[in-house]
Copies of this chain bind each other. A is one copy, B any other.
Amino acid sequence: MKYIAEDLKFVPLFSQLDQEQLEIIFSFSHFKKYNKGEIIFFETEPYAGFYCVYEGAVKLYKVSREGREHIVHIMCPYDTFAEVPAFENVDKLFQNEAVYPINAMALDQPTELLLVPAKPFITHLRKFPDLCLQFLSTLSKRLKILNSHIETLSLFDIKKRLARYILSELEIQKKNLKISSNRIEPISLSFELSFSKYDLASLLGTIIETLSRTFRKMQEEKLIEVEGKKIIIKNLSALKSLAELD
């Protein structure tokens, strides 16, 4: 698939920019294609720039010395990631001392990303005050997500974490429905996992065996039903109360 500068408009980060500004950013950026399981960058690798997902999905994850993996984020189309080293310390960036702070791996078969090289981008950024504000908003949202991730890890057990995850997926689906259809559709109480249960376990800060047992418990309690990758919500209000979101 061939993309053009206008496609950048779908990226929330760039949605406020005019055609000319988009062309500038597009001119020094380039597309990269990855296969499932392919590494995009490793932690501590020299920083080139930030990425924007066009197709597929990307997991951002940390690995402990013993090899245990924890997924911090899963990025979907039009999400941007790895902006932090671009802004954190501009001097460091221009001295080529910035590094990626995390590992990134493609999750889907054709994962297509736009790489926006940081140095030309930062050089242009001063000219686009609106883009600055947009970035502030994007980073603020990211901070909020990370805060809630910390809350989840430190205060909730696995069952509650899973309940929260299921409800958040439902929310995303609701939003997507609103965008894609103009007629009123009944909100579906089911969704498909878009990645393996292994990755879901890692996202929830646990391991696959524990996740499997937790799914079983929640099925026994008639909260949900699991068929392969499909999750069907059977008792929404009980799920909300379990997740402490009612």
Number of copies: 2
Report yes or no: A155 in contact with B87, Cβ–Cβ below 8 A.
no
In the complex, A238 has a CB within 8 A of chain B: no
The one of B65, B84, B140, B156 that contacts A144, using a Cβ cutoff of 8 Å: B84
Using Cβ atoms and an 8 Å threshold, which residues of chain B touch A155? 62-64, 68, 70
Tell me how far the C-beta of A168 lies from the nearest C-beta in chain B, rounded to whole angstroms: 16
In the complex, A135 has a CB within 8 A of chain B: yes
Tell me how far the C-beta of A140 lies from the nearest C-beta in chain B, rounded to whole angstroms: 4
Report yes or no: A133 in contact with B125, Cβ–Cβ below 8 A.
yes
Using Cβ atoms and an 8 Å threshold, which residues of chain B touch A88? 137, 140-141, 144
Digitize A82-107: 1 where CB-to-B-CB distance is under 8 Å, 0 elsewhere: 01111111100000000001100000
Q: A62-B151, A129-B126, A151-B70 are in contact. Are A139 and B143 (CB under 8 A)?
A: yes
In the complex, A159 has a CB within 8 A of chain B: no
Closest 7 CB pairs of A and B: A64-B155, A132-B132, A70-B154, A87-B136, A88-B140, A146-B146, A87-B140
Which residues of A are interface residues toward B (Cβ below 8 A)? 62-65, 68, 70, 72, 83-90, 101-102, 125-126, 129, 132-133, 135-137, 139-144, 146-147, 149-151, 153-156, 205, 244
